[in-house]
Amino acid sequence: MDALLQGAQLVLQPQTLIAIFLASIFGLLVGAIPGLTATMAMALLVPVTFFLEPITAVGAMVACSAMAIFAGDVPGTLMRMPGTPASAAYTDEAYAMTRNGQASLALGANVVFSAIGGIFGTIVLMVAAPALAELAVKFSSFEYFWLAMLGITCAAFIAAADPLKGVVSLCLGLLVATVGINNPAGQPRFTFGSTDLVGGIDFIAAMIGLFAIAEVLRFAGSARTELAVPQAQGGRIFAGVGALAARYWPQALRGNAVGTVIGSLPGAGADVAAWIAYSVSRRFSRTPKKFGTGHPEGIVESTSANNAALGGAWIPSLVFGIPGDTITAVVIGVLYMKGLNPGPTLFLNHPESMYAIFLVFIVANLLMIPFGWALIKAARRILSVPQGILMPLILLFCTVGAFAATNSLFGVVTMLAFGVLGLLMERHGFPVAPAVLAMVLGPLLEESFVNSMIKTDGELLGLVQRPIAAGLAAVCVVLWLLPLVKSLRRRDGAHATALG
Partner 1 sequence: MKSDLPSAVVVIALGLVALVAAAKLPPTPGQNFGAGFVPGLVAGVMTAAGVLLALRALRRRASFASEPAAKLVRPAGLLVVLGGLAAYVLLSEWLGFHLTAMLVVGGATVAFTGRWRTAVPVAVVAAIGVHAVFYGLFKVPLPWGVLQPLAW
Q: Which residues bind partner 1 (CB under 8 A)?
A: 47-48, 50-51, 161-162, 164-165, 167-168, 171-172, 174-175, 178, 183-185, 187, 189-190, 213, 216-224, 386-389, 391-393, 395-397, 399-400, 403-404, 407, 409, 412-413, 415-416, 419-420, 426-430, 445-446, 449-450, 453-454, 458
Non-local (6+) Cβ contacts of 207 within 8 A are: 39, 43, 46, 329, 330, 333, 418, 436
Q: 350-373 b/e with 16+ CB inside 10 Å = b?
A: bbbbbbbbbbbbbbbbebbbebbe
Q: For partner 1, give the closer residue by CB, 30 or 318.
A: 30
Q: For partner 1, give the closer residue by CB, 219 or 238.
A: 219
For residue 241, with 0-12 CB atoms within 10 Å meaning exposed, 13-18 middle and 19 or more buried, which class applies? Answer: buried
CA–CA separation, 306 and 328 (whole Å): 14
C-alpha pair distances (Å), 92 with each of 78, 106, 436: 10, 12, 29
C-alpha pair distances (Å), 338 with each of 198, 332, 343: 22, 10, 14
Is the torsion defined by CA of 331, 333, 338, 339 positive or negative? positive
For residue 395, with 0-12 CB atoms within 10 Å meaning exposed, 13-18 middle and 19 or more buried, which class applies? Answer: middle
In angstroms, what is the minimal distance from the CB of 157 to partner 1?
Answer: 12
Q: For partner 1, give the closer residue by CB, 277 or 402.
A: 402
In angstroms, what is the minimal distance from the CB of 402 to partner 1?
Answer: 9
Non-local (6+) Cβ contacts of 320 within 8 A are: 132, 136, 139, 144, 147, 342, 343, 344
CA 484 centroid distance within chain: 28
Q: For partner 1, give the closer residue by CB, 44 or 368.
A: 44
CA–CA separation, 55 and 32 (whole Å): 26
For residue 239, with 0-12 CB atoms within 10 Å meaning exposed, 13-18 middle and 19 or more buried, which class applies? Answer: exposed
Q: For partner 1, give the closer residue by CB, 286 or 428.
A: 428
In angstroms, what is the minimal distance from the CB of 224 to partner 1?
Answer: 8
In angstroms, what is the minimal distance from the CB of 158 to partner 1?
Answer: 16
Q: For partner 1, give the closer residue by CB, 164 or 477.
A: 164
CA nearest neighbour of 204 among 392, 52, 401, 55: 401
CA–CA separation, 91 and 79 (whole Å): 9
In angstroms, what is the minimal distance from the CB of 55 to partner 1?
Answer: 18
In angstroms, what is the minimal distance from the CB of 320 to partner 1?
Answer: 20
Q: For partner 1, give the closer residue by CB, 228 or 395.
A: 395
In angstroms, what is the minimal distance from the CB of 114 to partner 1?
Answer: 25
CA–CA separation, 151 and 443 (whole Å): 13
In angstroms, what is the minimal distance from the CB of 340 to partner 1?
Answer: 20
CA–CA separation, 130 and 3 (whole Å): 13
CA–CA separation, 99 and 110 (whole Å): 16
In angstroms, what is the minimal distance from the CB of 161 to partner 1?
Answer: 6
Q: For partner 1, give the closer residue by CB, 202 or 352.
A: 202
Q: For partner 1, give the closer residue by CB, 253 or 420.
A: 420
CA nearest neighbour of 466 among 143, 188, 148, 231: 143
In angstroms, what is the minimal distance from the CB of 51 to partner 1?
Answer: 4
In angstroms, what is the minimal distance from the CB of 427 to partner 1?
Answer: 6
Q: Phi, psi at residue 429, to the nearest 5°?
A: 75, 20
Q: Phi, psi at residue 180, to the nearest 5°?
A: 105, -170
Q: For partner 1, give the closer residue by CB, 224 or 286.
A: 224
CA–CA separation, 170 and 190 (whole Å): 18
CB 365 within 8 A of CB 118: yes
Cite the beta strand spans of 269-421 per DSSP E. Answer: none
HSE (CB half, 13 Å, CA atoms) of 43?
Answer: 29
Q: For partner 1, give the closer residue by CB, 135 or 400.
A: 400
In angstroms, what is the minimal distance from the CB of 337 to partner 1?
Answer: 14
In angstroms, what is the minimal distance from the CB of 261 to partner 1?
Answer: 26
Q: For partner 1, give the closer residue by CB, 135 or 454.
A: 454
Q: For partner 1, give the closer residue by CB, 1 or 185.
A: 185
Q: What distance, in Å, lies between the first and last C-alpha atoms of the chain? A: 69
